[in-house]
Chain A
Amino acid sequence: MIAALLKVTDLTVVHDGDGGERTLLDAVSLDLAPGEVLGLVGESGSGKSLLCRSLVRLLPSSRLRISGGSITLSGRELTTAPEAEMLAVRGGEIGMIFQNPSSHLDPVMRIGDQITEGIRFHQRLDAKAARAAAVDILAQVGFPDPARQYDSYPHEFSGGMRQRAMIGAALSSNPRILIADEPTTALDVTIQAQILRLLMDIRARRGLSVILVTHDLGIVAQVCDRIAVMWQGRLVEIGEKRGLLAAPAHAYTRSLIASHPSLPEEDMPAKAEKLRAPGAVPVVDIEKLHVRFATGGLFRRGAVDAVNGVTLRVMPGETVGIVGESGSGKSTLARAVLGLTPVSSGTIRFDGTDIASGRAVLGMLRRQTAMVFQDPYNALNPHLTVGKMLAEVLRVQGKIETAQIPARCGELLDLVGLGRAFLDRKPRSMSGGQCQRAGIARALAVDPKLIIADECVAALDVTIQAQIVELFRELVERMSLTLIFIAHDLAIVRNLCQRVVVMHRGVIVEEGRSEEVFSRPKHAYTAALIAAVPHIDPDKPLLAPSKMATPYADGVAN
C-alpha cells in the first residue's frame, strides 16, 4: 500500500459551551492516499463539514477546539503546527471548495483577482506573471474566454461558472489535496455532471487527492474510490466503494442506501391509475400560458418569458411532477396557478373557473389550494406553536366549527405522522423533516383540492427526503389529493408521480406517464437530464464522455 498523504488519527473536536464540553467529532480516523478520491457521506450535523474544517484548522467558531488526536500531512503534524505554517498549508497544500460559490466568492472583487491573490501570496509571483498564471487556471477550469473573463465579477456568471471559478481559486497555489464540501449541491444535475467531470479531469491531470463531501450516494458511487460514512460525529464505516455499497456494515449506511432514490432502468410495473369519471372537470386547466417579466430599468427595457406558452391539464386525483433546471419556469408556473404572479397571456382555469375573472375567484382559489415550500423552517412562523398555526388556518378557512378545531389539529398531526405531542412545539425545537411535516399539515388544514409542493424536499437529508416522499404517497392514496410536485430531483419525481412534465426555458419539452418518459425519453433535453443523474451503481458510469449534455452546457449569464 502507498504511504498515506494525509493521516487522521482519533481526531476529536469539542465545543466549550456554557453547559460544559460537547463532543462534535469523536475520535475520527482516516487516511488519504496520493491521487485517491475519498467520499465523505452523512446527514447534516453528522460532522462531515466540521471534519474538513478541522483538517486545515479553520474551525467555524472560537468555542470549538481540537481536543485530541492528530492530523499528519506527509509526516508533518498539523494539530500543533504554528499558525504561520498553517497559512502555507491552507491553499498551498490543501485547497478547499464549498457548497455555495455565490456566497464564497467575493462579490466586489474580479474573478481573476481572487485567483491571483493566492498565487501572489503563496508563490510570490509579480503581478504580470500571476495574471498570466490565473488566466491559465481559468482556461483549465473551463472558462471559454479566460483573458477577458478574468476581469468579470462573480455575479456576471451562472452558478456553474462560479463553482468553476472557486475551483480555480482553490487550485491557484497547486495544492496536493482538494477538499470539496458539497460542491454540486446547489447546482442543476446537468451542471453537476459537468463540475464532477471537471474535478475528475483535474485530479487526473494534477494527481490530486480529493475528499469529496456529499449527501448524494450516487455521486460517491460514481466518482470516489473509497467511502467514509459519518454519523453523529463518528466515522462509522470506511471502505472501498463497491464493497461498502454492496455490504454496508452500519445501520445508518444501510438506511442511506435504501433511501437513495435511484432511477430504475427497467420498466417498473405501472402505478395503479385511478379510474376517472368520464367528462370530469380538470382541477387545473392551463392554456397557452405566458408569464413575462420586465427586465432593465426605466431607459432600457427588456422582457424575459419565464413561462412561454404552456398548456397543461391536471385531473382530479392526479399526481403530476414538474421537473427542470433552475430558470426553467417551473416555480413561476406554480405561482401563476395560485394567482401569485400576473399572467401575460393565456388562461388558467381552476375547477372550471377562470382565475382571472375577479377577486372572488382568487379568494376561492386560496381556500381550495395550498402550497408546501422549499425551506420548511422559514416557511413556518417562529412565534407560533404548531397547534396555534393550524388552528389559525382552520379559523380563517371557516370550514369547520370552532369547537371542533382542536380535535381537527390533532387529526392533522396524526395524518402527517407527527403525533399530538407536537401541538405545543415551536419550529425552533423541531428538525427540518418535522418542520416539513408541519408544513404539510398546514397545507392539509385548508382541505385543499390541490396541493402544490415546490422543491419541498430539496433542503432535507436523503433519509428524511425518503420519509417525506413516502408521506406524500400515503396522503395521495388515502385522501385522493391532487398534487403538483415540483422538483429538480428526477428520481424522486419518478418514484412519486404518475405523470411528469419536463420544462426547459419556459416551455414544456416533454410530458407523459413517468415510466414512459424516464425509460424512453423522446426529447434530447430529457435524455440529457436523465443521463446526468449519478447512479448509485458504480458500474453505470456517469462520467463516460457524453455528448448529450453539451447542447445545454451552462454558459456565461448575459
Chain B
Amino acid sequence: MHRYKFVLYRPLQFLPVLFGISVITFILVRLIPGDPARVLLGTRATPEAIARVRAQYGLDEPMLAQYFYFLRNLADGEMGRSILYKIDVLKLIATRIEPTLTLVLCSVVLSVLIAVPVAAIAARNQGRLADQVIRIVSTFGIGFPPFWLGLMLIILFSVELAILPVSGYGNTLSEKLAHLVLPSLTVSLSLSTVLARSLRAAMVEGLKSDVATAARARGMPESIVFWRHVLPNSLVPTVNLLAVNIGWLLGGTVVVETVFALPGMGQLLVRAIFSRDYMVVQGLAMVFACATVLINFLADIVTVALDPRVKL
C-alpha cells in the first residue's frame, strides 16, 4: 500500500502552513481598528480602567511579545482567554464546534445526495428537456445568495407550513436535527448546483469516452456503462472541487448560522469580531485553518482511493 504512504508524511507539511496562518491571523486581527478594552468596558470607562484591562490581557506589550505568548500558549494547548466570555478560548470554541460540524456534514451529505442523481439525469439526457430544466434551475441556485434563500425557506416551511422550527438549536438529537434541516438545505441548494455542474460536465465527457464505447462494445447496457464506468471516472475532479467548497462553506456558515441563530462557530466569529475579542478570533481562525487543511488532506486520500493512477 505504498500509494498511501503520504498519509504518514503529509502531516509534516501542515506545520509550516499552520505557522504561516497563525502569523497572518495574529497580524490581521490587530489591524482591525478599535480597542478590545474599550469595547469591553463601554464608552464611559476611565482611562485607568482601560489601562488595567489592557495590562490584564497583555495588550500593552509589544506585538512580538504578544505573538510569542500566543505561540507559547498554543504549544500548551491554550489559546488565551476570551475577553467577552471570560473563559478559555479553546473551551469556548469546543462548545460551538458541534452545531457547525453537524451543519457542514449534513450539508455536504445532502449536497452529494442531490448533485449525483441530478447530474446523472442531466448528463444522460444531454440536450433534452430534463437537462435544460436542470441547467436553468442550477443557474438560479448559484445566483441566489444563501441568506435570501434561508429566509425564503423559513417563510415557507416554518411560517406558512409550520412544520419546521424557525431558528435556534435543540437539546436532544431529534430536536437538533429538526433545527438543522433548513440550514443544511440552504447550504446544499447552492453547493449542490456547483457540484452538479462539474459532475454533469465530467459525465457528459465520460459518456462519449473511449472507455464507454469499449464497454458498450462488450454488450454492457447503458446503466452499467454509466454507473460502473462513467460515474467512478467522473468523481475524481469533483472530489477536489468539493474539498475547495467545504473550505468556503466553513466561512459561509457565518451567514447561515446568523440567519438561523445557530450557536455555532460562525455565529461566535461574528460576535468576536464585533467585540474585538482578539483571542477568540485568533482561535477560530486557527480552527478554521486546521479544518481546511484537514479537509484537503481527506480529499487527497479519497482521490488516491478513487484513482489508482494517482500517486502523492
- Give residues in A with beta carbon < 8 Å to B: 56, 58, 60, 87-92, 95-96, 98, 100, 103-109, 117-118, 121-122, 153, 155, 166, 169-170, 172-173, 297, 299
A554 to B233, CA, bound (A): 28
B221 touches A108 (CB 8 A): no
Contacts of B236 in A (CB 8 A): 108
B211 touches A173 (CB 8 A): no
B232 touches A90 (CB 8 A): no
A58: which of B213, B224, B311 is its contact (CB, 8 Å)? B213
CB distance from A88 to the nearest CB of B (A): 6
B217 touches A100 (CB 8 A): no
Contact flags (1/0) for B233-255 with A, using CB distance below 8 Å? 10010000000000000000000
A100 to B209, CA, bound (A): 12
B209 touches A103 (CB 8 A): yes
Contacts of A109 in B (CB 8 A): 228-229, 232
Give the nearest-CB partner of B219 in chain A: A91
A104 touches B218 (CB 8 A): no
B211 touches A90 (CB 8 A): no
Does B210 lie at the interface of the complex (its beta carbon under 8 Å from any beta carbon of A)?
Answer: yes
- Residue from A87, A122, A299 having most chain B Cβ neighbours under 10 A: A87
- Residue from B213, B232, B307 having most chain A Cβ neighbours under 10 A: B213
Does B274 lie at the interface of the complex (its beta carbon under 8 Å from any beta carbon of A)?
Answer: no
Contacts of A107 in B (CB 8 A): 211, 233, 307-309
Selected A-B contacts with CB under 8 Å, 17 pairs? A91-B219, A98-B213, A100-B210, A103-B209, A103-B210, A104-B210, A105-B214, A108-B306, A108-B309, A109-B229, A117-B220, A118-B220, A121-B219, A153-B308, A155-B308, A169-B218, A172-B218
B309 touches A121 (CB 8 A): no
Does B44 lie at the interface of the complex (its beta carbon under 8 Å from any beta carbon of A)?
Answer: no
Are A90 and B309 CB-contacts (below 8 A) given A100-B210, A104-B210? no
CB distance from B4 to the nearest CB of A (A): 13
Contacts of A117 in B (CB 8 A): 215, 218, 220, 224, 228
CB distance from B257 to the nearest CB of A (A): 38
The 5 tightest CB contacts between A and B, nearest first, are: A91-B219, A90-B219, A91-B218, A96-B217, A104-B214
B228 touches A104 (CB 8 A): no
Contacts of B232 in A (CB 8 A): 106, 108-109
Contacts of B220 in A (CB 8 A): 87, 91, 117-118, 121
A471 to B308, CA, bound (A): 45
Contacts of B309 in A (CB 8 A): 107-108, 153, 155
Contacts of A169 in B (CB 8 A): 214, 218
A91 touches B229 (CB 8 A): no
Contacts of B216 in A (CB 8 A): 58, 90
Does B5 lie at the interface of the complex (its beta carbon under 8 Å from any beta carbon of A)?
Answer: yes
A121 touches B308 (CB 8 A): no
A466 to B112, CA, bound (A): 55
A87 to B306, CA, bound (A): 28
A91 to B215, CA, bound (A): 9
CB distance from B284 to the nearest CB of A (A): 33
CB distance from A324 to the nearest CB of B (A): 27
A56 touches B217 (CB 8 A): yes
A444 to B220, CA, bound (A): 51
A108 to B303, CA, bound (A): 11
B218 touches A118 (CB 8 A): yes
A122 touches B213 (CB 8 A): no
B224 touches A98 (CB 8 A): no
A96 to B217, CA, bound (A): 6
A92 touches B219 (CB 8 A): yes
Contact flags (1/0) for B283-312 with A, using CB distance below 8 Å? 000000000000000000000001111011
A299 touches B5 (CB 8 A): yes
Contacts of A166 in B (CB 8 A): 214
A95 touches B217 (CB 8 A): yes
A108 to B309, CA, bound (A): 8
CB distance from B306 to the nearest CB of A (A): 7
A434 to B263, CA, bound (A): 69
Give the nearest-CB partner of B218 in chain A: A91
Contacts of A96 in B (CB 8 A): 214, 217-218
A254 to B217, CA, bound (A): 34
A84 to B129, CA, bound (A): 25
A98 touches B214 (CB 8 A): yes
B211 touches A104 (CB 8 A): yes
B219: which of A60, A100, A103, A173 is its contact (CB, 8 Å)? A173
Are A103 and B211 CB-contacts (below 8 A) given A108-B233, A108-B306, A109-B229? yes
A169 to B218, CA, bound (A): 8
Give the nearest-CB partner of B6 in chain A: A297
Contacts of B224 in A (CB 8 A): 117, 121
Give the nearest-CB partner of A56 in chain B: B217
B233 touches A106 (CB 8 A): yes
Give the nearest-CB partner of B214 in chain A: A104
B217 touches A91 (CB 8 A): yes
Are A98 and B210 CB-contacts (below 8 A) given A153-B308, A299-B9? yes
Contacts of A108 in B (CB 8 A): 232-233, 236, 306-309
